[in-house]
Amino acid sequence: MPQPPDSPGPRLLAVLSAVAQAGALDLAGVQAATGIPRSACYRALATLEGAGWLRRRLSDGAFLPVAAALAPLAAVATPGVLADRVAGPLAPVLRRARIAADIARLDPGPALVVVETSRGEGAAAPPEPFFGTPLTLAALAVCPPETRLALVRSALDSADEEDRRAVTSGRFTRAVAACAAGGAVWDPGTQSLTLPLDGGDGIKGALRLEGTGATRRSENRLRGLAAELRRALPDLLPEADVIRALYWPVAAGRPPDDRRRRG
């Protein structure tokens, strides 16, 4: 191993390069890869995280390169744009709350793919069943009407009879509309609260928060946490009135407000 750098600037570059090359490293891994003392590694990682070059993974706190920041410098493997935009800001709050969480992206397939989770690394997480998860209801709630219709029609090609009946009867659409009206889906069976994610640039998804304990207490705690997260990230986690105004103008009783429309 070459002599470790002994000044802040070269140390930052060494740490950033080590994480980018590995794809994910914790503090011990960065120290082993660079030879930089632990305290100096910690300061460099904190600086790079604060500047938006690195973020911490939900599952284990390992540092990952942020694709948007590093794209001009090198092609690096990351879990995706949505995970970069959401997991970094949410991770500290979720760790403090000790809440299990999943971030899912809506893909054209159509499929709901978990791109980051606090339950494990999630690199090979399988797609969730399109008609069988609240993640779908939340992700579709922030899709334009024509996109929702196209995705549901495409999913019907491989749907079973029960799912087809849910769609043709209108039950599935009403569930999506209820999510848009309330801004979330509460599932008492799993004690989870699922929020729509609008990642911008056509990226849609959902954030699932899972609680424990008595159902009413768990729901209240998760709704309080959801409100805190929405205050911190209003563009990524829109409130119900914003969802209705942007994507459900009929339900809102008025046309979308152009001043609130994102590009």
- Structure confidence at residue 143 (pLDDT): 94
Does one domain contain both 24 and 104? no
Claim to verify: residue 102 and residue 230 sit in the same structural domain: yes
Q: What does the pLDDT read at residue 77?
A: 40
The confidence score (pLDDT) of residue 149 equals: 93
Q: From the first residue on, what is the mean pLDDT of each consecutive set of 10 residues in the chain (263 residues)?
A: 68 88 90 92 91 86 76 45 76 80 89 83 67 94 94 93 94 94 92 92 91 79 92 90 86 45 39
Task: Please report which helix (H) or strand (E) contains residue 134, including its range.
Answer: helix 134-141
Domain that holds residue 13: 8-70
- What is the predicted pLDDT for the residue at 69? 55
Q: Is residue 75 included in any domain, yes or no?
A: no
CATH number at residue 13: 1.10.10.10
The tokens describing 44, both together, are 């460099």
The pLDDT assigned to 88 comes to: 75
pLDDT at 80: 65
Sorted by sequence, the CB contacts under 8 Å of residue 39 that are 6+ apart come out as none
Same domain membership, residue 234 and residue 117: yes
> Considering only CA atoms, which of 81, 90, 149, 84 is closest in space to residue 118?
90
Residues 124 and 22 in one domain: no
60 and 88 assigned to the same domain: no
Q: Which H or E run includes 38?
A: helix 38-50
Same domain, 29 and 132: no
Q: What pLDDT score was predicted for residue 109?
A: 85
CB contact set of 224 (below 8 Å; sequence gap of 6+): none
Q: Which residue shows structure tokens 């802040």?
A: 8
Task: Point out which residues pair with 200 in neighbouring strands.
Answer: 203
Residue 3: the pLDDT is 63
Is there a single domain that holds both residue 220 and residue 126?
Answer: yes
pLDDT of residue 153: 93
Residues 150 and 225 in one domain: yes
Q: Which residues contact 107 (CB under 8 A, 6 or more apart)?
A: 113, 127
Instruction: Count H helices and E strands in the chain, helices first.
Output: 12, 7
Is residue 3 domain-resident?
no
d(CA 135, CA 106): 9
**Amino acid at residue number 245:** A
Do 66 and 90 belong to one domain? no
CATH number at residue 165: 3.30.450.40
